[in-house]
Amino acid sequence: MTSIPSCLIALAQAAAVPAAPPPAEPPQIAYAPVLDAEVAPTPIRRAVPPVRTATAFEEDGVQTAKARLFKGGKLVLTNGVSTVEGSSGGGIARWATIAGRQMPGGIGLSTHATAIELPDYGWRSYGVAVGFGDRLELSVSRADFDTRDVGAALGIGQGYTFNMDTFGAKLRVAGDVVYGAAWLPQVAVGIEHKRSRDGALVRALGAADDESTDVTLSATKLVLARSLLVNATVRYTEANELGLLGFGTTAGAGYALQFEGSLGYQLSRRAVVGAEYRSKPDNLGLGEDDWMDIFAAYALTDHLTLTAAYVDLGSIATFSDQRGGFLSAQVAF
């Protein structure tokens, strides 16, 4: 048998002997410089509240998110109907209601057309009102007053028509028409700036000016348990025949407090009947009388309301017994 060289035997023995481990080193913590460094405390931040879906005028002010345009939700008829001057209310009396069917956070719209037929005169008015939340109302309207044969008798021309523009604003400051405490009505303050488009003529009749501003304070409540609506409005005005015959008088008569009242009874959620009264000044000495009506309003749909009334407007420009019919249509969203 051939012998194995001694050098190979020596190499095999050396490989079989385990290598000695390296000398142990003391344990170290990784990233010790970072852990030992001083770190400034991070301020605590509050969570950002979610953006609301409302905008317009809510209970807590103006919101900045997306508005809900023309998304109605009010109970039928609780936005009132359009008055002859364009604001929400009854036919001849202003209420504390806000035009449109929008809820808080939304924007609503209403339009109207009104006709009054009297023995010697004819009234036509139309306009639009916008409600922001259940808080603010802005309105504009035009009234045309046809004198028919009276125009010739007064020397101003057969069928002469007086024209008047009214720009209104109303702000709800307390309460709610339907909800909340039964003793607290909805309260609103407002203005109506009126401008006669017959300046030279109304001055010739003795008016001091052809434009002026009424200031109003209204309180309105619907007592659901009794199906009863009650409204009272105080108006500070110098308007002659609502402003159709100008404002004040060159003789010195001017602003005075006047009263407007409404009482309604709900026959159903869509029908209401009632009566209204409105006092008026007699600045020109023409025997201007207070106005009264007996009305019925019916909501054919949630958006369309018709109002019919028997009106007693008394004496207008010395022509007495001006009693007749009132018809108005309102579309609201």
Domain boundaries, the chain: 64-332
**Quick one: pLDDT at residue 30?**
42
Q: How many residues does the chain have?
A: 333
Closest CA to 77 of 256, 290, 201, 231: 231
**Quick one: pLDDT at residue 23?**
54
291: Cα within 13 Å, side-chain hemisphere: 28
**Quick one: pLDDT at residue 61?**
37
Contact status, residue 102 vs residue 112, Cβ threshold 8 Å: no
Residues of the chain with pLDDT under 50: 1-2, 4, 7-12, 14-17, 19, 27-37, 46-66
Strand partners, 237: 256
Structure-derived torsion over alpha carbons of residues 87, 182, 74, 193, reported in degrees to the nearest 10 = 10
Q: Which CATH superfamily is domain 64-332 in?
A: monomeric porin ompg (2.40.160.40)
> SS3 of 13, please?
helix
pLDDT single digits (tens) 211-244: 999 999 999 999 988 999 999 999 999 999 999 9
Does this model's pTM top 0.85? My answer is: no
